[in-house]
Structure 1
Amino acid sequence: MRQAQSLHFSTHDGVELHYRHWPATLNEHQPRRAVVMFHRGHEHGGRMAHLADELDMAGCDFFAWDARGHGLSPGARGDSPSFATSVRDVQTFIEHLQRQHGIEEPNMVVLAQSVGAVVVATWAHDYNPKVRCLVLASPAFKVKLYVPFARPGLKLMKAVRGNFFVNSYVKPRLLTHDADRVASYKADPLISRPISVTMLLGLYEAADRVVADAQAIQVPTQLLVSGADLVVERAPQERFFERLGSARKEMHVLPGFFHDTLGERERSHALARITRFVSHCFEAPAAPVSLLDADRVGPTLAEAESLAAPLPRYSPRALYWRATRAGLRLGKGLSDGVKLGFDTGFDSGSTLDYVYRNQATGKGALGQKIDRSYLDSIGWRGIRQRKLHAEELLREAIARLRDAQRPVHIVDIAAGHGRYILEALNTLAEKPDSILLRDYSELNVQQGSALIQAKGLGEIARFVQGDAFDRASLASLDPRPTLAVVSGLYELFASNTLVSNSLAGLADAVEEGGYLVYTGQPWHPQLEMIARALTSHRQGQAWVMRRRSQAEMDQLVEAAGFRKISQRIDEWGIFSVSLAQRVRA
């Protein structure tokens, strides 16, 4: 039997999480490979230890973490600051394994069960990893709570009480028919029954999003479904599989299996299928599906076309959105933010600058209250979080350039008013060598130039009018940028040809080893409201957005000659910010 090593890694926020490592027992003279395992809720990585021996993969290292609040990792039992924090912990863990153990991401297999499988599925959706494949066992996309209206009730109680904990109702004998596993579960001091309502509601929200948008996941995936699962529902698992975008995917329903799929008495049937699937993925890697033409065919195009199509005039939905537009026009007379949106476009640089400032203004107390509600909508909260993530990755890129003793010449090709980038750079002890801000709007150039002077950056910064999609104009930037920024631009344009031209111009301009900060919008919960009720900066046209999955956005960036090295995403999965490096042409 393999012997586990007990290790720790530091997360993005400095928390030291525990994990176990079972080194490979067979040297097959090949690049190091690994199976990275993620446990069920209430449990810990040690509960998956048997798989290191039972799976026929002697040439693979095995790793299993203890999630926050589980096993030997710190934190209140069953809790995390948010579900998104745990998802980001997965990314941090994978990066640690690459850095500390020398295992490249394409040589990793990710094996996850129950809650762990939802965390991993969300990670695959949001971060577009390049792991070899996923194996998801009994993903807890919808837990059987058995109490009517339990979910809205928990949400209401949390709003009143704040975070609190509920205990699992699941008995060990309902998890597996394996008597030894039942006994070990009962005797295990590291198992805890509580789960925080923050995590439980976050689990539900992430699961809804990932099941609805599973087409965005491109990683080869094997789904194992327990046929007699008393803990989670099967229907969302089946919907997830049907919508899964992976070119290589398979689903197995295991008759009679309880929820602990990988710990069932007859689990050898499941493990044999895992070994076969993983071996095939290693021996015959699946060719990645090109998404460069996703603006001409595919799910997100169909979605955008549906949003752009008019509704039957007197249908309930048409009447609803007509009433919504009327309400917004009424709010325009009271809320400064809503008025600005109608005047300049809800996607304009002026609106964005207003959202960044986040100061509710309007006529009287009612106007300010309406404006506060407007500014607190989930989309604008996501925008402000995107600003913070962009600032974080800007500082990281500058630090990398300084470490390499290279000059810092920054260009933002569609800066709006430039507030987010100027505020980020103004806090640095050592200022960049130069800052060039560009925007197509003359109004934005005027107001951005004034902001440069107000921030006292006139000696190193300038603002000029320019077309972010003009390849020749971008390619001739002077000085040549070592750090290019594109924030909130590509999301507004459905055409991948436009985006590719822009990225190609930046690739021509940015020196090898330089950096690119770019944003994406893989998901938005208010797409229909935006399309049916809001107007864009393009002469009052409807603001219809075509989403790009993170996989599509990353492929466009990679095709231009950049390699993604880091990513951030908000807790709702709406806006991503990534850092890429220019590689040799």
Structure 2
Amino acid sequence: MPHETLSAAPPAAGRPAFERTFQSHDGAEIFYRCWPAVSAAPKGAIVLFHRGHEHGGRVAHLVDELAMPDYAFYAWDARGHGRSPGQRGYSPSFAASVRDVDCFMREIETRDGFKLGDMAVVAQSVGAVLAATWVHDYAPDIRALVLASPAFSVKLYMPFAKESIALWQKLRGVFFVNSYVKAKFLTHDPERIASFEADPLITRPIASNILVELYRHAARVVNDARAITVPTQLLISGSDWVVRHAPQHEFFVNLGSSIKERHVLKGFFHDTLGERDRAPVVGDVRRFITEQFAKPIERADLTAAHLSGFTRDEADRLASPLDPLSPKGLYWALNRAFIKLGAWFSAGLKTGVATGFDSGSTLDYVYENEARGLGPVGRAVDRIFLDAIGWRGIRQRKVHLEEMIPAGIARLKQAGRPANVLDIAAGHGRYVLDAIAKCPDQPAAVRLQDYSDINVAAGQKLIAARKLPQSFSFHRADAFDGEALAAQTPAPNLAIVSGLYELFPDNALIARSLGGIARAMTPGALLIYTNQPWHPQLEMIARSLTSHRGGEAWVMRRRTQGEMDQLVEAAGFRKLDQCIDQWGIFTVSLAERI
């Protein structure tokens, strides 16, 4: 249970710090400190994220140094660090730690009443990568983001260290790597050096999975920083021994924020906000945050991103034909030939070629995850197909749906409302039925729909095979017919849209569908929706795979999470929760009709 105590020796000398804990998404308890605003009417909240190996007490000096008494301050000890319990330096995944960030921000919102738009984030090093990934993946409308020496690329001084760590982890499982960085290479401040060396809460080890995944997520966020539209200030230490500068500059250039600043600090070591001569830099942070709070929050309108923007440009490039005799043209032609050949052996490839790789039939096959084919060779080819990163992401999306659907039904029960479930494009319906089967409380009615006669027949067969009651039904319907969706009887109070909107680039279609769902619902009803803000194999998919639409190329236009959330908000919903897979490909979100 969450608790709060007044610290006997608050790390920030000026204001008293309250010590609290909260439970994160998987039940892990995380420790944090809170410094309430001095004024009775606080202007906002500033959330501090510490460096790797450290804890919230190491950034507590900023509470006084920023000299912003009208703002509350918060600083956590990240999972596996400081006074948060758990194995030192360990997290199940980098994505789990990013979701911890989201849970922390929701804890502040729920407990102390600060909306995301009333919060600014100041983060250092690994904490800055966590914060940047959270802003990219969860698209929060925070007021400002300050990143100090983000650890997008850590300097590992042994040759091939990163590759060796990844290989050893693959062979032996997760292990721990100790940091031997000396305090004198982090800062020129003698007090900070002494306190670092004497601090018993410094965590030297870091789990190998976090180190490997830190590089992968950092590369993704740097490359796709156009998706970040929050006002951002980037502080780069000019003499950093710990991380490389080049990805930091690349991140800044790619940033989609209309308000962004970059400061290169000559002679500064890695502990940017703990350096000896930090006062002017801290002043710049104070000025930047104050400027953002002094004006109405500005948010880029992403609802027309299908007409112009970087994801539209990306999709247009992928839809443009290649010279068939060019190296790339020949490469992808050979790839398509191998897929057609593989379809003679692999049951999964055969299903994809016959019905489209984005079809309900293919997805149902991927969910089953059982390699089938012609003899051992066919099964081996099928296993390679099923283990593609996109399909692994699809299966993790199913796991998250099986978490979110029962949570939605339980929320409705708590409000005294029987759950009437509607899935507007269920494919074969396997993921919905599997999720509902795990619910302690069964819904009053379940209506599954799909446009495809093949999917409807398969879904009806699945319902019959499971001997489900008559309140479970499957119908043929158009997920983009807003009027038909609005006229649903009984009116749904838990609507599900999974894997559908990602296949259609036009936001007008999405708005029509969401509008119909919203008109069918009363306030307090819930919507579960998925999105694909990123994918590592977009070109392979566009150049090699066919869709369910007449065998044409499967070209996807990504929607950033901010774009998808704005479409949902415009239809009359408020986002409550979200999860994302460990690769950053698929999100599952829960929203409430308002």
Q: TM-score, normalised by structure 1?
A: 0.97
Moved more, 11-20 or 537-546: 11-20
Secondary structure at the counterpart of residue 60 of structure 2: helix
Distance in 2 between residues matched to 1:21 and 1:556, nearest whole Å: 34
Among 531, 539, 547, the alignment partner of 2:558 is 547
Query: Is the 8 Å Cα contact of residues 176 and 259 (structure 1) preserved in structure 2?
Result: yes
Distance in 2 between residues matched to 1:59 and 1:564, nearest whole Å: 28
Among 251, 263, 268, the alignment partner of 1:252 is 263
Q: CA deviation at 1:30?
A: 4.5
Query: Is the 8 Å Cα contact of residues 421 and 446 (structure 2) preserved in structure 1?
Result: yes
Q: Does 1:441 align with 2:449?
A: no
Distance in 1 between residues matched to 2:481 and 2:592, nearest whole Å: 21
Distance in 1 between residues matched to 2:164 and 2:441, nearest whole Å: 51
Secondary structure at the counterpart of residue 40 of structure 1: coil
Q: Partner of 2:103 in structure 1?
A: 92
Q: CA deviation at 1:79?
A: 1.6
Query: Is the 8 Å Cα contact of residues 426 and 455 (structure 1) preserved in structure 2?
Result: no
Q: Partner of 2:19 in structure 1?
A: 6
Distance in 2 between residues matched to 1:387 and 1:341, nearest whole Å: 19
Q: Does 1:126 align with 2:141?
A: no
The superposition leaves residues 48-105 of structure 1 with CA deviations (integer Å, 9 ceiling, x where unpaired) of 1110110021111111111112111122222211111110110111111122223222
Query: Is the 8 Å Cα contact of residues 220 and 246 (structure 1) preserved in structure 2?
Result: yes
Query: Is the 8 Å Cα contact of residues 402 and 438 (structure 2) preserved in structure 1?
Result: no
The superposition leaves residues 428-461 of structure 1 with CA deviations (integer Å, 9 ceiling, x where unpaired) of 3432111111111011111111111112224111
Distance in 1 between residues matched to 2:441 and 2:204, nearest whole Å: 50
Query: Is the 8 Å Cα contact of residues 35 and 109 (structure 1) preserved in structure 2?
Result: yes
Distance in 2 between residues matched to 1:402 and 1:13, nearest whole Å: 22
Q: Does 1:185 align with 2:175?
A: no
Distance in 1 between residues matched to 2:168 and 2:79, nearest whole Å: 24
Among 228, 232, 250, the alignment partner of 1:239 is 250
Q: Partner of 2:10 in structure 1?
A: none
Q: CA deviation at 1:563?
A: 0.8
Q: Does 1:175 align with 2:186?
A: yes
Secondary structure at the counterpart of residue 219 of structure 1: coil
Distance in 2 between residues matched to 1:119 and 1:130, nearest whole Å: 16
Among 39, 60, 76, the alignment partner of 1:65 is 76
The superposition leaves residues 376-399 of structure 1 with CA deviations (integer Å, 9 ceiling, x where unpaired) of 111111111111111221111111
Query: Is the 8 Å Cα contact of residues 39 and 113 (structure 1) preserved in structure 2?
Result: yes
Distance in 2 between residues matched to 1:419 and 1:539, nearest whole Å: 24
Moved more, 437-446 or 158-167: 158-167
Q: Partner of 1:194 in structure 2?
A: 205
Secondary structure at the counterpart of residue 463 of structure 1: strand
Moved more, 331-340 or 281-290: 281-290
Secondary structure at the counterpart of residue 48 of structure 2: strand
Q: Does 1:273 align with 2:284?
A: yes
Map 1:56-455 to 2 at 5 A: 56-455=67-466
Distance in 1 between residues matched to 2:525 and 2:490, nearest whole Å: 13
Distance in 2 between residues matched to 1:363 and 1:458, nearest whole Å: 38
Q: Does 1:522 align with 2:522?
A: no
Q: Partner of 1:17 in structure 2?
A: 30
Structure 2 segments unaligned to the other structure (5+ residues) = 1-13
Query: Is the 8 Å Cα contact of residues 36 and 63 (structure 1) preserved in structure 2?
Result: yes
Query: Is the 8 Å Cα contact of residues 295 and 301 (structure 1) preserved in structure 2?
Result: yes
For 1:305, the aligned partner's letter is D
For 2:24, the aligned partner's letter is T
Distance in 2 between residues matched to 1:429 and 1:114, nearest whole Å: 43
Secondary structure at the counterpart of residue 80 of structure 2: coil
For 1:433, the aligned partner's letter is A
Q: CA deviation at 1:314?
A: 2.4
Q: Percent identity?
A: 57
For 2:185, the aligned partner's letter is L
Q: Partner of 1:46 in structure 2?
A: 57
Distance in 1 between residues matched to 2:387 and 2:312, nearest whole Å: 29
| Change in CA separation of 1:413 and 1:160 when aligned onto 2, cut-off 3 Å | same
Distance in 2 between residues matched to 1:319 and 1:345, nearest whole Å: 23
Distance in 1 between residues matched to 2:344 and 2:248, nearest whole Å: 47
Q: Partner of 2:577 in structure 1?
A: 566
Moved more, 229-238 or 320-329: 320-329
Q: CA deviation at 1:426?
A: 2.6
Q: Does 1:504 align with 2:528?
A: no
Query: Is the 8 Å Cα contact of residues 5 and 21 (structure 1) preserved in structure 2?
Result: yes
Cα RMSD for the two superposed structures: 1.2
Moved more, 250-259 or 146-155: 146-155
Distance in 2 between residues matched to 1:380 and 1:483, nearest whole Å: 26
The superposition leaves residues 189-210 of structure 1 with CA deviations (integer Å, 9 ceiling, x where unpaired) of 1112221211111100000000
Q: TM-score, normalised by structure 2?
A: 0.96
Distance in 1 between residues matched to 2:435 and 2:207, nearest whole Å: 35
Query: Is the 8 Å Cα contact of residues 410 and 435 (structure 1) preserved in structure 2?
Result: yes
Deviating 4+ runs (over 4 angstroms): none
Distance in 1 between residues matched to 2:203 and 2:499, nearest whole Å: 43
Distance in 1 between residues matched to 2:317 and 2:385, nearest whole Å: 26
For 1:421, the aligned partner's letter is V
For 1:22, the aligned partner's letter is W
For 1:335, the aligned partner's letter is S
Distance in 2 between residues matched to 1:118 and 1:112, nearest whole Å: 8
Query: Is the 8 Å Cα contact of residues 45 and 71 (structure 1) preserved in structure 2?
Result: yes
Query: Is the 8 Å Cα contact of residues 175 and 207 (structure 2) preserved in structure 1?
Result: yes
Q: CA deviation at 1:303?
A: 0.5
Q: How many equivalent residue pairs?
A: 581
Query: Is the 8 Å Cα contact of residues 233 and 260 (structure 2) preserved in structure 1?
Result: yes
| Change in CA separation of 1:426 and 1:161 when aligned onto 2, cut-off 3 Å | closer
Distance in 2 between residues matched to 1:571 and 1:50, nearest whole Å: 33
The superposition leaves residues 363-382 of structure 1 with CA deviations (integer Å, 9 ceiling, x where unpaired) of 11111111112111111111
The superposition leaves residues 127-155 of structure 1 with CA deviations (integer Å, 9 ceiling, x where unpaired) of 11122111110000011112222222211
| Change in CA separation of 1:427 and 1:15 when aligned onto 2, cut-off 3 Å | closer
The superposition leaves residues 543-564 of structure 1 with CA deviations (integer Å, 9 ceiling, x where unpaired) of 0000000000000000111111
Distance in 2 between residues matched to 1:352 and 1:398, nearest whole Å: 24
For 2:380, the aligned partner's letter is K
Secondary structure at the counterpart of residue 247 of structure 1: coil
